[in-house]
Amino acid sequence: MRSITISLCVSVTAVAGLACGGGKAPSTGGGGTSSTLTDLMKARGLSEIDVQAALKTYTPSGKLDEYMVFASGGHSGQVIVIGVPSMRILKYIGVFTPEPWQGYGFDNQTKDVMAGGKRGDRDLTWADTHHPALSESGGDYDGKYLFIGDKANARIAVIDLKDFATKQIVTTELIGSDHGAAFVTPNTDYVVETTQYATPLGGAFADLKEYKDKYRGAAVFWKFDRDKGRIDKDASFAIEFPPYVQDLADAGKKVSDGYAFFNSINTELAWGGNAEGNPPMESGMSQNDMDYLHVVNWRKAEELIKAGKFETIAGMKVIRLATAAEEGVLTFVPEPKSPHGVDVTPDGEDIVVGGKLDTHGTVFSFSKIKALIEQKKYEGKDPYGVPILAFKDAIRGQVELGLGPLHTQFDDQGNAYTSLFLETVVAKWSLKDLKVLDKVSTHYNIGHLVAAEGDTVSPDGRFLIAMNKWALDRFNKVGPLLPQNFQLVDLTTPKMQVLYDLPLPLGEPHYAQMIKADKLAPIEIYAPGEDPIRGEVSPFAVTGGKERVERQGDQVHVYMTAIRSHFTPDIVRVKLGDTVHWHVTNLEQAYDATHGFAINSYNINLSLEPGEHSDVTFKADRAGVFPMYCTEFCSALHLEMAGYLVVEP
Ligand code: CUK
Ligand code: CUA
């Protein structure tokens, strides 16, 4: 895709076969005549640029998208799947929040998944999801798994892209919030989760006055078991950090494989207290000219774990700060004033840090950093004993970007794209010359941006999405709370061009990743009787003719099947006070044969995809007659797919 159209008349007539300049339009074949293109443009007030944008994104019915975007759902705790270039929303995946359409958080299987994210005894039914991470092989997306972090509650979720469903949520009481999460190492050996706000490790109590001595950050390296498709908590470990408020993170790749990079924003060690005589947090944290980029040698950390050089805190193996500093696991490099994004270039050689309160992007050189570490050429140590390299020796250079640089992505032509929050533009710049080449305005308050495979070892270029916050004046008004705005940007033209605005009315997404659609190969149906969370046929699954209700004391087991257009049995009689174990198997094996299963007043709604088996357990604590029915319009006789739960007093 390398065309910029000069004349709309030429391009549009060529592409769409439409008449131009007031000429006769082709007949619609329906007897009437359609308007000419210019009439349509005039009637709708569209410019040539608008029509070009429309032609680049319009995807006729039945045509598929080339890319899929996995966007964080922000406060909703979910993941949003979007097609590119059409910008059609394809799915919301239930992750940290119950999602009734998918039955997520309603059946026993997905309740167990959600229970994996409990903090203490508390069920958590929301999340502040920030950063999704697709699984990688050799630093490239492989389309197998997706991970996402919950900043509010320090949790990581594992989503299997075989069926686009959440399979596991993990958390550790070691830390109390995260932000540099989720990021994967180049072969998805580890899913990385880093603290944002420091707390005493393991959730112990210490007053904030003891911030410097008792509060800590940490990077958790969750071990991912690819065969099982699950995080292995026992094989995971963490590295203790000073309480510098670590922010974003990225894993090294290619030449920097084995390393990970974390930035931080609070070398001042401010901890708030604006009503207790201290400066407010935001000024307390913005005094110093430099913060610290944390350079972590995680392969070295793995060796220390193997050698037993760790302490166990809250069930997690932790390499203590002094050990990490002494053994060369953790090294600091000064980075300009309260940075935000940290992004490793496709070749793994450079680390780009957005200045936020600085107008520069700083480009650190991995080979220089590595050489300095090997020569032990330090300019000093921080108060915790962590060696510090000299800023000027560790950088390749700086690029003057503009106001409020945050996050950076890459294309296949050696260019980088950085979001400028305060200037509210995307800046395109040359990695080689560190020179800005182009800027495009976005509406408004751009946070992250995502380019096609733009954080991998082989970015595609072509498309970029500016992920803007609070879409003031872009859409029809919907009250004071504003939707977010994903703006699709064309990277193939000499000047970047905004093609499409997609409002996202579900939460603040922060980050997303864009993968080539043909790397994904989701299944269409489950095996007969399969429990999707365990990935095997459920011992409670039944086939047609084997349906039954069994009672053992006050425990009632219902073995039910669903097939168009009935449940068997369709009347279930229990007694008040019984515990009911309801096992439902969808007998269908056709792609489009999902059944729902809802019971009135009992807060039950399952989704049974073809072949799927689900269980739900509840106490029949309310007597009466409760309609139950299928919640998907599955057939002409869908309304008849119903029955009754009878709870006898
Ligand atoms: S953060 Cu939100 S715009 Cu959580 Cu990656 Cu930068
Ligand atoms: Cu099954 Cu409607």
Atom of ligand 2 nearest to the CA of 596: 1
Atom of ligand 1 nearest to the CA of 179: 4
Which has the closest alpha carbon to 418: 506, 341, 500, 325?
341
* pLDDT tens string 481-535: 999 999 999 999 999 999 999 999 999 999 999 999 999 999 999 999 999 999 9
* pLDDT tens string 566-594: 999 999 999 999 999 999 999 999 999 99
Mean pLDDT of all residues in 154-166: 98
Asked whether 428 lines ligand 2 (CB < 6 A), one says no
Asked whether 638 lines ligand 2 (CB < 6 A), one says yes
Q: Which of the ligands is closest to the CA of residue 629?
A: 2
Helix and strand totals (H; E) in the chain: 10, 45
Asked whether 595 lines ligand 2 (CB < 6 A), one says yes
Mean pLDDT of all residues in 227-241: 98
Pocket test for ligand 1, best of 195, 246, 406, 484 (most atoms within 8 A of CB): 406
At residue 355 the predicted structure's pLDDT band, cuts being 50, 70 and 90, is: confident
b/e sequence 91-121, b meaning 16+ C-beta within 10 Å? ebbbbbbbbbebbbbbbbbbbebbebbebee
CA of 110 to the centre of ligand 1 (A): 28
Cα distance between residue 28 and residue 41, in whole Å: 18
Q: Is 254 a residue whose pLDDT tops 50?
A: yes
* Ligand 1 atom 4 nearest Cα: 130
Mean pLDDT of all residues in 366-393: 98
**Token digits of residue 218:** 């940490």
* pLDDT tens string 51-60: 999 999 999 9
Q: Is 16 a residue whose pLDDT tops 60?
A: no
Mean pLDDT of all residues in 260-278: 95
The answer for residues whose C-beta is within 8 angstroms of residue 298's C-beta and 6 or more apart is 185, 190, 221, 239, 258, 259, 260, 329
The DSSP letter of residue 176 is: S
CA of 179 to the centre of ligand 1 (A): 8
Contact 450, 461 (CB under 8 A): no
Which has the closest alpha carbon to 180: 134, 141, 218?
218
Ligand 1 binding pocket, CB closer than 6 Å? 130-131, 179, 248, 340, 406-407, 447-448, 510-511
Q: Which of the ligands is closest to the CA of residue 343?
A: 1
- Write the Ramachandran bin of 62: left for phi over 0, alpha for psi from -120 to 50, otherwise beta: left
**Token digits of residue 249:** 């993170």
**pLDDT of res. 35:** 77
**pLDDT of res. 543:** 97
Summary mean pLDDT of the chain: 94
At residue 34 the predicted structure's pLDDT band, cuts being 50, 70 and 90, is: low
Question: What's the burial of 269, exposed, middle or buried (CB within 10 Å: 0-12/13-18/19+)?
Answer: middle
**pLDDT of res. 357:** 83
CA of 402 to the centre of ligand 1 (A): 18
Element (H, E) at 313: strand 311-313
CA of 638 to the centre of ligand 2 (A): 5
Q: Where are the domains of the chain?
A: 2-57, 533-648
**pLDDT of res. 9:** 46
Q: Is 327 a residue whose pLDDT tops 60?
A: yes
Mean pLDDT of all residues in 282-306: 95
How many of the other CB atoms lie within 10 Å of CB of 337?
Answer: 17
Q: Give the fold, CATH level 3, of 533-648.
A: Immunoglobulin-like (2.60.40)
Chain position carrying tokens 């004993």: 385
CA of 442 to the centre of ligand 1 (A): 17
Which one-letter amino acid corresponds to residue 284?
A: G
Which has the closest alpha carbon to 127: 152, 90, 107, 110?
152
**pLDDT of res. 338:** 86
Q: Is 6 a residue whose pLDDT tops 60?
A: no
Pocket test for ligand 1, best of 183, 340, 422, 484 (most atoms within 8 A of CB): 340
The answer for residues whose C-beta is within 8 angstroms of residue 536's C-beta and 6 or more apart is 530
Atom of ligand 2 nearest to the CA of 594: 1
- Write the Ramachandran bin of 173: left for phi over 0, alpha for psi from -120 to 50, otherwise beta: alpha
Helices 8-16 and 48-57 cross at an angle (nearest 10°) of 30
Q: Which of the ligands is closest to the CA of residue 593?
A: 2
Q: Is 619 a residue whose pLDDT tops 60?
A: yes
Residues for the chain: how many in total?
649
* Ligand 2 atom 1 nearest Cα: 595
Mean pLDDT of all residues in 541-549: 97
Cα distance between residue 76 and residue 233, in whole Å: 26
**pLDDT of res. 21:** 43
Q: What is the 3-state secondary structure (H, E, C) of 26-64?
A: CECCCCCECCCHHHHHHHHCCCHHHHHHHHHHCCCCCCC
Mean pLDDT of all residues in 551-580: 98
Cα distance between residue 610 and residue 250, in whole Å: 39
Q: Is 232 a residue whose pLDDT tops 80?
A: yes
CA of 642 to the centre of ligand 2 (A): 8
